[in-house]
Amino acid sequence: MAFSFFRKKQGDVAGQVDFDHLPRHIAIILDGNGRWAKRRGLPRTAGHRAGSENFRTIATYCRDIGIQYLTVYAFSTENWKRPKDEVETIMGLLKKYLLEAIDTMERDNVRLHFMGDLSVLTPELQDLAAQCNAISARLTGCLCSICINYGGRAEIVHAAQSFANDCLTGAVKPGDLTEETFENYLYSGHIPSPDLLIRPGGEQRLSNFLLWQCAYSEFYFTPVLWPDFSKRELLKAIANYQHRSRRFGGV
Ligand code: FPP
């Protein structure tokens, strides 16, 4: 079987996963970095560093086992309220990640996409994101979407404004709007809705993440903090998901 190596490596949990019927799209709220650092007597920024490295590990593993779409909540519209040095560290980690991605994504066949209002980021970060988008356009592999300065409500308002503008130009009429056409105005217009939403860190809420897209997603909550959320934890979440019965409102 194509991914037998990766299956064996995760031992017993891998045996509980049906690798031929994986969720197509997994979304993750990266939570618990601060507490991870505090438990070790480290500054919160060390937690974000560990969280960023774990994102690389989990994204690569998703690609290896054949997950087609991975979307992560890295920085919300509310996260600007955090202390300046913490925000700067997160933006620095993002820059480091993007710089490395530009060098490796072609080799790794991992596509990167960004969701959120990037216009408030530094021109340098915006430029790096644009370079990642350009490289991704030539690739076919797992699509990793990183949500930055993202809020679910803001996304819906932004989509409504774009639709209203298209009405004003005469490109569309108000009566053309359906759930399907509206989705094209969202940041995620070109990707399917998440099948599985994972929130590490112990909280059991959506925190303004993918409000539209998670209408029928299965939720998995775990107290494990994001930097400790290993490949094995991911497989546990997938195995749990595979026992759910998804009816999408039917019987
Ligand atoms: C939530 O944990 C985490 C964040 C707000 C930032 C996440 C950012 C990164 C992991 C770095 C850059 C990301 C990528 C994808 C390269 P928290 O600080 O709220 O944790 P706490 O609840 O324990 O305080």
Residue 132 Cβ < 6 Å to ligand 1: no
Residue 34 Cβ < 6 Å to ligand 1: yes
- Does pLDDT of 2 surpass 60? no
* Residue 32 CA, ligand 1 centroid: distance in Å: 7
* Residue 96 CA, ligand 1 centroid: distance in Å: 15
Q: For residue range 78-124, what is the model confidence (pLDDT) as tens digits? A: 999 999 999 999 999 999 999 999 999 999 999 999 999 999 999 99
* Residue 35 CA, ligand 1 centroid: distance in Å: 10
Q: Residue 219: what pLDDT?
A: 98
- Does pLDDT of 3 surpass 70? no
Best residue among 28, 29, 30, 147 to mutate for probing ligand 1's pocket (most ligand atoms within 8 Å of CB) is 30
Atom of ligand 1 nearest to the CA of 226: 2
- C-alpha atoms less than 13 angstroms from C-alpha of 65 in its C-beta half-sphere: 29
Closest Cα to atom 14 of ligand 1: 52
Residue 79 Cβ < 6 Å to ligand 1: yes
Residue 150 Cβ < 6 Å to ligand 1: no
C-beta of residue 44 within 8 angstroms of C-beta of residue 34: yes
Which residues contact residue 188 at a Cβ distance below 8 angstroms, ignoring those fewer than 6 apart? 71, 115, 145, 210, 213
Residue 94 Cβ < 6 Å to ligand 1: yes
Q: How far apart are CA 209 and CA 72, in angstroms?
A: 9
Residue 14: pLDDT band (50, 70, 90) is confident
* Residue 29 CA, ligand 1 centroid: distance in Å: 9
Closest Cα to atom 11 of ligand 1: 52
Residue 201 Cβ < 6 Å to ligand 1: yes
Q: How far apart are CA 122 and CA 162, in angstroms?
A: 24
**Residue spans of alpha helices (H) in 22-151:** 33-39, 44-65, 84-108, 123-136
Average pLDDT over residues 187-212: 97
Please state the φ and ψ torsions of residue 187, each to the nearest 5 degrees: -60, -25
* Residue 120 CA, ligand 1 centroid: distance in Å: 19
Residue 58 Cβ < 6 Å to ligand 1: no
Active site residues: 31, 79
pTM: 0.93
Average pLDDT over residues 153-174: 96
